[in-house]
Structure 1
Amino acid sequence: MAKLQGFEFWRKTLKEARYVVAPMVDQSELAWRLLSRRHGAHLCYTPMLHAQVFVRDANYRRENLYNEVCEEDRPLITQFCANDPEVFLQAALLAQDYCDAIDLNLGCPQMIAKRGHYGVFLQDEWELLEKMIRLANEKLSVPITCKIRVFKETEKTVRYAQMLEKAGCQLLTVHGRTKDQKGAMTGIASWEHIKAVRKAVNIPVFANGNIQHLSDVERCIQESGVQGVMSAEGNLHNPALFEGRSPPVWEMAEEYLEVVKQHPPCTLSYVRAHLFKLWHHTLQIHQDLREELAKVKNLEGLANVSKQLRLRCQEEIAKGKDSEEKESSLPFPHWICQPYIRPPPKDPVANGNGQGSEVKRAVCQKRALEDSDGAADTLSKNKQKKRSRNPHKNFCPEHKPKYVKCDQCGNPKGNKCVFNLCRGCCKKKAFKEVADCPSHGLRFKTKAEKQKAEEEKRKEEETERIRNSPQTLSDPSTNLQEGSNAELQR
């Protein structure tokens, strides 16, 4: 059967998906995808997977894709980060039987992506990207898609999208923010850039950015002409976003925990992170339970904290605090699923089209940047906590250690690793060679030697026990045999 392409792929395989859950590292796992699908999502992506690790590590493949195969979880697109055409192809070939398409991440703006040289930090390497997409499009049995960020210049963004389409991309997701629009400088996503891309290409386009309610979804589709809209943070705070509902937080939290129980395994850190997102506004009030949620070590403990939060909210409702909450800055009471709106700069840049210097000036008005000596009164709350634990800690960028890359995967290596590798690569090598790496706390050789010594000691004790047992000493045949052996020796 011929591979479906472009709009035919969107119509037949993706079933004209309009409501899409974004690929989110450690957040769009199977349980969360299933919850989102129950509440209106048409299409989901896996979390971003590292292509090189996916190729070399069978456990990584099982834990992040193979073990999460579920009939309810389709259509599904697997996303990879990669910077090598052959490695990307190998990873995609290993994943293609478990999903409906392979997506190349060209939008991640985080520091880890910069260190690893992937995500949005490849957006200027058009020749490399063209080679990666063309090779994957030729060799894979499923379509290749891409998720990108925009350039400041609309014309350059359009040319970028057209290059990807020409190389073989069959569906394009456009996040309407630039590489620098992240964290405190996130700002507003530009739907104008997305609209320009949609008009310039002949493949389906999904829009990403500024999606907090279902009304935003419909408005984005109408204004930009895209085929679908992708949500990340909006979905994390309200998994019923695509239903147009804002249910009580405990309703979503309890349903999610039930899904986790039905579809193990699910890493506890994922569950904890989801509960922090869902209960975000309530945890600003009940700080004691925030601390408890961070400390519990099992699923039952997380469920118990969520239950306590529900009971406290219901007590507030019974006492009539609902009307008081409406006077706060939140559009709904804190126990209702609703987006977290990041405080904008004082002079926000319309549609994210302004110059970077203007954005930086606005952020400086919000909070002064740290002094070079890291004065405590100018540090962020997180850094102040670190300073309280370590009064001698220096936050000056010039004094930060430079990361040395792992010899195998390119991630930061351990400073004192005996193999000059990151922990993941070191663990694999140490296990294979039965070696130790004190830097990473790996003791395969020590454990093997200890186990061997214990086994030898156990055998000696067993031999001694048999030799000294009353049955052996009193058995005539045994004594006769021993006598015969002695006679023969003489």
Structure 2
Amino acid sequence: MPLARGGMQFWEESLGSPRFVVAPMVDASELAWRLLSRRHGAQLCYTPMLHSSVFARDPKYRKEALASCVEDRPLIVQFCASDAPTLLEAALLAEPYCDAIDINLGCPQAIARRGHYGAFLQDDWPLLREMVSTLRWALSVPVTCKIRVFEDIGRTVEYACMLEAAGCQMLTVHGRTREQKGPLTGLANWDYIRAVRENVKIPVIANGNIQCLQDVLRCMDETGCQGVMSAEGNLYNPSIFQGLNPPAWEIALEYLTLAEKYPCPISYVRGHLFKLFHHCLCLSNNFDLRAELATGSDLPEFQRTVLQLRERYLPFHEGEKLWEGSSGYNLELPPWICQPYVRIAPEEHLKKMVQIQNRNADISQYEEEVGSKCENRLCRLCCKAFCYAEDRDCPGHRIHIKSHREKARQQAACL
């Protein structure tokens, strides 16, 4: 079997030197979404992460996972695995339909810990050498890896060099550790990505902190990487690589047309629409349409909801009505415009957790002192909610409520 072209030759000839890359996203980077992203500037896409063992044994899973078309290239298929033979079996089945096979070494979720794959392989270098080298010498397409960084920059560089030596022909480096996830995500460290780029000879794609086109260009400038990968930024605004912020309904209707032509699970469609309209659906006057999306069961239902959102906000978008939702001196995009989702800092999250813990302790103390009797004939849980959230405390409880609220305010002020 001929050895696959690697390194810069692979980057330039097989992939076309892509700068704008859509990440492998579970339940999100399906064919319809990839095609939408390509229409709006993406030059390279990955499949969602596929489980190599399931892919190898289940023809139905394999057929759905490899759904593609002529326009869906260049395409990289990503697998997670915990042993080389199973990974190779899956990769051999996928290689006729893609331009490279990627090994997921970046997933930080608990399911990856249990399955011994993703970022939880980064300490098992002998296994990784075996997995990468096995694919390198058996496939006719290149093998690539997507990794997270270590806490130590030197260890991160050593890790990348080990993968390159084992036969990896392109690296995607997510500048966060495997502990940086969920509410503790925080910022990715581009210095670590730059250090990897300066110490390997293969192409490097940077990942992390990408919320707009300016971030993409700045990241390439600061890291020296050949390309930049977007995940969450792409989900909230598929036009990110064009530097545009279109009305969410335009993108949503275009996506629904593609999803009709290239079907995918309804849960995928619902997830995409919730992200596209995230800022609208957080507004209380749109809770009715939020409920419609949550319970929608087919594409026509989703389309009707999207059209209703368009009807509500098009007069504002076209200037027929004045939007007064923003305040202060900061420039804010109105909620119907595709825009980034900005997470709170980990420090703020931890503060909130402390406040919640203090509040729960305060409520527990109140329950011990007051008991569960209520003059409003509410159950214990409802009484507690009304007392603390809606000021519907009954006369017999009022003194205790005020006392504990004052204590809670004092605790919060000290944080």
Task: Give TM class, smaller chain.
Answer: 0.7 to 0.9
Counterpart in the other structure of 1:134: 133
Counterpart in the other structure of 1:456: none
Larger Rg: 1
Asked if 1:304 corresponds to 2:290, the answer is no
**Structure 1 residue matching 2:21: 3-state secondary structure:** strand
User: Is the Cα contact below 8 Å between 2:3 and 2:137 reproduced in 1?
Assistant: no
* Residue 404 (structure 1) aligns with: none
Q: TM-score, normalised by structure 1?
A: 0.71
- Of residues 351, 369, 373, the one that matches 1:365 is 351
Contact 1:326 1:332 in 2 (8 A): no
Bigger relative CO (Cα 8 Å, ≥ 6 apart): 2
* Post-superposition CA distance 1:405-462 (Å, at most 9, x none): xxxxxxxxxxxxxxxxxxxxxxxxxxxxxxxxxxxxxxxxxxxxxxxxxxxxxxxxxx
Q: Which residue of 1 aligns with 2:375?
A: none
Report the CA distance shift for 1:144/1:333 in structure 2 as closer, same or farther (over 3 A): same
Q: In the alignment, residue 33 of structure 2 is paired with which amino acid?
A: W
Distance 1:84 1:2, change over 3 A: closer
Following superposition, the deviation at residue 342 of structure 1 comes to 0.5
**1:91 alignment partner in structure 2:** 90
Read off the aligned partner of 1:297 and give its amino acid letter. Answer: S
**Which shifted more, 42-51 or 315-324?**
315-324
Contact 1:326 1:333 in 2 (8 A): no
Counterpart residue identity of residue 304, structure 2: N
Q: Indicate the residue corresponding to 1:207 in structure 2.
A: 206
Aligned AA for 1:94?
L
Q: Which residue does 2:321 correspond to in 1?
A: 320
Aligned residue in 2 for 1:345: 346
Q: Distance in 1 between matches of 2:330 and 2:138?
A: 53
Contact kept, 8 Å, 1:171 with 1:203, in 2: the verdict is yes
Aligned length: 364
- Aligned position for 1:74: 73
Q: Give how far 1:326 is off.
A: 5.9
- For the aligned residue pairs, the C-alpha RMSD in angstroms reads 2.3
How far residue 375 of structure 1 moved from its aligned partner, in angstroms, is: 6.8
- Please tell me whether the aligned partners of residues 3 and 139 of structure 2 are also in contact (alpha carbons under 8 angstroms): no
Q: Work out the CA distance in 2 between the residues paired with 1:195 and 1:377.
A: 49
Give the Cα separation in 2 of the matches to 1:58 and 1:15: 31
1:275 pairs with 273, 276, 281, which one? 273
Q: 1:23 to 1:377 in 2, by over 3 A?
A: farther
The match for 2:243 is 244
SS of 1:322 mapped into structure 2: coil
Counterpart in 2 of 1:101?
100
Q: Does the CA contact (< 8 Å) of 1:19 and 1:229 recur in 2? A: yes
Determine the C-alpha separation between the residues in 2 that align with 1:136 and 1:76. 17
Q: Secondary structure in 2 aligned to 1:166? A: helix
Aligned ranges for residues 172-191 of structure 1 at < 5 Å? 172-191=171-190
Q: Partner letter of residue 253 of structure 2?
A: E
Change (3 A) 1:6 1:311: same
Please say if 1:15 is aligned against 2:16: yes
Give the alignment of 1:114-193 within 5 angstroms: 114-193=113-192
Give the Cα separation in 2 of the matches to 1:316 and 1:179: 42
Q: Percent identity?
A: 56
SS of the residue 2:354 aligns to: coil
AA paired with 1:181? Q
Structure 2 counterpart of 1:11, one-letter code: E
1:266 aligns with 2:252: no
Q: Is the 8 A contact 2:104 2:118 kept in 1?
A: yes
SS at match of 1:169: coil
Matching residue of 1:488: none
Q: Which SS does the other structure have where 2:196 is aligned?
A: helix
Aligned position for 1:287: 287
Q: By how many angstroms is 1:325 displaced?
A: 3.2
**CA-CA distance at 1:369 after TM superposition:** 7.9
Query: 3-state DSSP class of the match of 2:209?
Result: coil
- Superposition deviation, residue 321 in structure 1: 3.4
Alignment-derived partner of residue 223 in structure 1: 222
Instruction: Write out per-residue CA displacement over residues 311-363 of structure 1, whole angstroms, 9 at most, x where no aligned residue.
Output: 111244456333543659772000111000001134xxxxxxxxxxxxxxx54
Unaligned 5+ runs, structure 2: 365-380, 383-415
| 5+ long unaligned stretches in structure 1 | 347-361, 379-387, 390-490
How far apart, in 2, do the equivalents of 1:272 and 1:200 lie? Answer: 42
Paired residue secondary structure (2:93): helix
